Structure 1
Amino acid sequence: MATEIKQSMYEGIEVQHFQFFLQNSDEHEGILQFLLKYLPEQFKRISADKSSLGVLGVGSGGGELDVKMLSLLQSTCSSLPITADIIEGSTELLANFKALVAMTDNLQKIPFTWHVMLSEDYRKQVKDLKKYDFIHMIQMIYYVDDVTETIKFYHNILKKNGRLMIIIEKASAAGDILWRTFSKELCNETIPVYYSSQDVVASLKTLGLKYEEHFIPNTYDITECFDHNSKTGQRLLAFMTASNDFSQSFTPQIRADILNLLRNKCSAEKEGRIYFNSGLSLICVHA
């Protein structure tokens, strides 16, 4: 009998909150603008003396950034055939990814292999492991059981000159402050332990791996979060706290404490609007 694969809990309301967040923030745009400047040189190094290139996206979500990176890889290394493997536990997000690929003409030349499972399942259950030139994990390391073992595993399946790219909340940025302050209240079955860039860097040092770290600025408007009657604010708060419903998931005191922290330690005011200072770290690990 086939081994049962645990599916992601990132379905339904969680996906809706995530997509709402993307619509109401510039996070993907900020990441993309940085990658457009940073990745071409990395891709040239990765592709040196190669006859083909293999890409692995881990926790790629709806694929919005993947299709941009693959298109950039195509234009940078136009003479090399590319294959793409995608690991994603959310069937809803994976369906969005496939639809996006179908609408992107230049990606029709790339063979995709879809792994509908969590990173943990891939690491533990998939036996016929390929090696890759470029592996990326964007805003997904929060969902793994063991950061060090996860990094060790994916680093081990890098080809010569390969790169493992991890993008995660920067230590001491607003997201890190929020989750470390309220880890007891916010950590749940989906995110049992909170990790930030400091945890990734500590793992890399433990493993003795070569890496470089870069800062990606990331701010977004959370003014509506302070209006209890704002549906926009409540949905943003639900995403930021990984809860189904912010007003129902926490006691009145915890809600007040979270809002106080967001206002006074995590944000800056500009022209009457309140902006959450959630900077990101891009950590590029060398093979």
Structure 2
Amino acid sequence: MAAEAKQTCYEGSSVQSFRFFLEHSGEHQAILQRVHDILPGEFKRIGAGKSSLDFLGVGSGGGELDVQMLTLLQSIFPAVPITADTVEGSSQLTDNFKALVAKTTNLQKIPFCWHIMKCEDYEKQVKAKGDMKKFDFIHMIQMIYYVDNLSTTIKFYHSLLKNNGRLMIINEAANGGWDILWKTYKKELCVDAITEYRSSGEILACLKSQGLKYEEHVIPNTFDITECFNPSSQTGQRLLNFMTATDNFYQSFTPEIRAGILDLLRNKCSTEKDGRVLFNSNLSCILVYA
């Protein structure tokens, strides 16, 4: 989970922690596999008959997923001009995104607009200007945890969709490992960047309450957390730090809380296979219609 230490965007040590997690979790690969199943058909529907296409990434991070999605969009509509906007609070991750774009030849002709700010600040800026750029496709991947008000954020970004557009929200699945961990230990974990943990369950309830039409696709994923149960393992400690959004798992909690978290991770959040402990990291891809 995109957990950040005492801030609302990745900077400094939390960037390294986030990258370490991505290397070990296979999360981006799982998302990309599903996105490549779902998006070609969606993009064809979204772009049918349009003379230009506008793409917005909200919480785009280092841009690894955006680059793939933009390349896909471009391959489906090679002759249609595309613009790309990104809203991302981390300057370090935005620099990473810019470097990726510079290395990706096919993206050179796409004009990018970089908004280095929280998604709520982008909303305030847009409303203050009164100049609301509309988009054909908007994605919010693993960032809903950090917004102050779920309902108003979804309402605002949905309002930016053009005719036949799609808002794609990817988040941790209801009743998955993250959902169980963060809701069981809400008091201990929801103290810094994340003050209210939300899974796909809360997002779907919000969409229903706003009367929005959507479809949901499961993104299956697990990753190996066996090392988390070896106190002398550096890999295990780094994973535990990320999973609990702390700088130091072993110093941040009492022995009782640590033992409880480890027991929960092993017995409620994971399955065991061939002596390895596999954390249930399923995600949910929700496509919201304009």
**TM-score, structure 1 as length reference:** 0.96
Paired position in structure 1 for 2:124: 124
Alpha-carbon distance, 1:9 to partner: 4.3
Paired position in structure 1 for 2:61: 61
Paired position in structure 2 for 1:161: 164
Alpha-carbon distance, 1:36 to partner: 0.6
Alpha-carbon distance, 1:157 to partner: 0.6
Aligned-partner SS, 2:108: helix
Instruction: Map 1:1-287 onto structure 2 (within 5 A).
Output: 8-126=8-126, 127=129, 128-287=131-290
Aligned-partner SS, 2:284: strand
Separation in structure 2 between the aligned mates of residue 254 and residue 17 of structure 1, nearest angstrom? 22
Alpha-carbon distance, 1:38 to partner: 0.6
Do 1:166 and 1:284's aligned partners in 2 also have CA atoms closer than 8 Å? yes
Letter of the aligned partner of 2:89 in structure 1?
A: G
Alpha-carbon distance, 1:76 to partner: 1.2
Separation in structure 1 between the aligned mates of residue 183 and residue 13 of structure 2, nearest angstrom? 24
Do 1:8 and 1:117's aligned partners in 2 also have CA atoms closer than 8 Å? no
Separation in structure 2 between the aligned mates of residue 165 and residue 273 of structure 1, nearest angstrom? 33
The two structures, once aligned, show a CA RMSD in angstroms of: 1.0
Instruction: Tell me which moved more, 82-91 or 11-20.
Output: 11-20
Letter of the aligned partner of 2:229 in structure 1?
A: F
Do 1:221 and 1:275's aligned partners in 2 also have CA atoms closer than 8 Å? yes
Residues 67-125 of structure 1: CA deviation (Å, up to 9, x unaligned): 00000000112221110000000111111111111111111111100000000111122
The structure 1 segments of at least 4 consecutive aligned residues displaced by more than 6 Å after TM superposition are none
Q: Which runs of 5+ in 1 are unaligned?
A: 1-6
Aligned-partner SS, 1:109: coil
Residues 24-51 of structure 1: CA deviation (Å, up to 9, x unaligned): 1211001101111110000011001210
Aligned-partner SS, 2:193: coil
Separation in structure 2 between the aligned mates of residue 202 and residue 37 of structure 1, nearest angstrom? 25
Paired position in structure 2 for 1:4: none
Aligned-partner SS, 1:89: coil
Separation in structure 2 between the aligned mates of residue 10 and residue 252 of structure 1, nearest angstrom? 28
Do 1:142 and 1:195's aligned partners in 2 also have CA atoms closer than 8 Å? yes
Separation in structure 2 between the aligned mates of residue 83 and residue 156 of structure 1, nearest angstrom? 18
Separation in structure 2 between the aligned mates of residue 189 and residue 224 of structure 1, nearest angstrom? 26
Q: Which runs of 5+ in 2 are unaligned?
A: 1-6
Instruction: Tell me which moved more, 12-21 or 163-172.
Output: 12-21
Separation in structure 1 between the aligned mates of residue 178 and residue 167 of structure 2, nearest angstrom? 23
Give the total of aligned pairs.
281
Alpha-carbon distance, 1:263 to partner: 0.3
Paired position in structure 1 for 2:3: none
Letter of the aligned partner of 1:36 in structure 2?
A: H
Letter of the aligned partner of 1:66 in structure 2?
A: D
